[in-house]
């Protein structure tokens, strides 16, 4: 069945999709004349759309699997969240909403899928504001540099963004050293983060597992 094939290879599909997206980002940065009608604002909206679509598809897929699975999963998909299930203090306000039919399933997908999407957005936008402030005070980025980094952070998601940021700075230092010895005193940092984003999307989990 095609759905079973998609669910079994979902990570590969998502990886392929984000690689295609990053290819678009590369084209927009290195050859903007090829995609004149595609602004960074449109690419940013596309990155948000893709990440939200991923969350919605995984939520639907989880519901489908449980609803067509064993008697236990069929029971859980319609069950409210039990009052004995602990919630973090900052999520306790959600308990009344989870005490109705489907509350357990909602709690499950929030913790397994949407929490990571929200964390990714939060960290990405906070770092975007920091980079934007840094650009206004010290420079160091192109005009659309912080927005480009925001796009890359959303595309790498959580926990890939934990690899993207330090790796981007490391690659920036390496590129600066290479260009410095060639007599070039200024180096754009954006290409370093584009390279780091590709590495983070493909190898992010392996890198994190190595250091953690």
Confidence of residue 68 (pLDDT cuts 50, 70, 90): confident
Six-digit token string for 180: 């410095």
Query: Could you tell me which residues come within 8 angstroms of residue 59 by beta carbon, excluding any fewer than 6 positions away?
Result: 109, 113, 114
- Phi, psi torsion values for 33, nearest 5 degrees: -70, -20
Q: Residue 167 and residue 136: Cα distance in Å, rounded?
A: 23
Query: Could you tell me which residues come within 8 angstroms of residue 164 by beta carbon, excluding any fewer than 6 positions away?
Result: 152, 153, 156, 193, 196, 197, 200, 204
For residue 212, pLDDT over 70 is answered with no
Query: Could you tell me which residues come within 8 angstroms of residue 170 by beta carbon, excluding any fewer than 6 positions away?
Result: 196
Instruction: Say what the pLDDT of residue 198 is.
Output: 94
142-158 mean pLDDT: 92
Instruction: Say what the pLDDT of residue 1 is.
Output: 62
| pTM of this structure | 0.89
């Amino acid at each position: 069945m095609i759905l079973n094939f998609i669910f079994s290879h979902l990570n590969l599909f998502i990886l392929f999709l984000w690689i295609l997206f990053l290819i678009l980002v590369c084209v927009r940065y290195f050859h903007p004349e090829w995609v004149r009608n595609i602004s960074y604002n449109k690419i940013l909206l596309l990155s948000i759309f893709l990440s939200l679509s991923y969350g919605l598809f995984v939520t639907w897929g989880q519901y489908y699997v449980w609803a067509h699975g064993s008697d236990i999963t069929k029971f859980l998909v319609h069950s409210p969240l039990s009052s004995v299930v602990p919630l973090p203090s900052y999520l306790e306000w959600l308990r009344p909403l989870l005490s109705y039919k489907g509350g357990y399933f909602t709690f499950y997908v929030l913790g397994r899928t949407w929490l990571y999407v929200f964390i990714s957005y939060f960290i990405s936008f906070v770092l975007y504001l920091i980079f934007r402030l840094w650009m206004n005070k010290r420079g160091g980025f192109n005009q659309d540099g912080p927005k480009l980094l925001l796009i890359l952070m959303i595309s790498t998601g959580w926990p890939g963004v934990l690899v993207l940021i330090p790796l981007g700075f490391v690659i920036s230092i390496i590129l600066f050293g290479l260009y410095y010895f060639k007599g070039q005193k200024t180096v754009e940092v954006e290409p370093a983060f584009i390279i780091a984003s590709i590495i983070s999307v493909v190898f992010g989990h392996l890198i994190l597992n190595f250091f953690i």
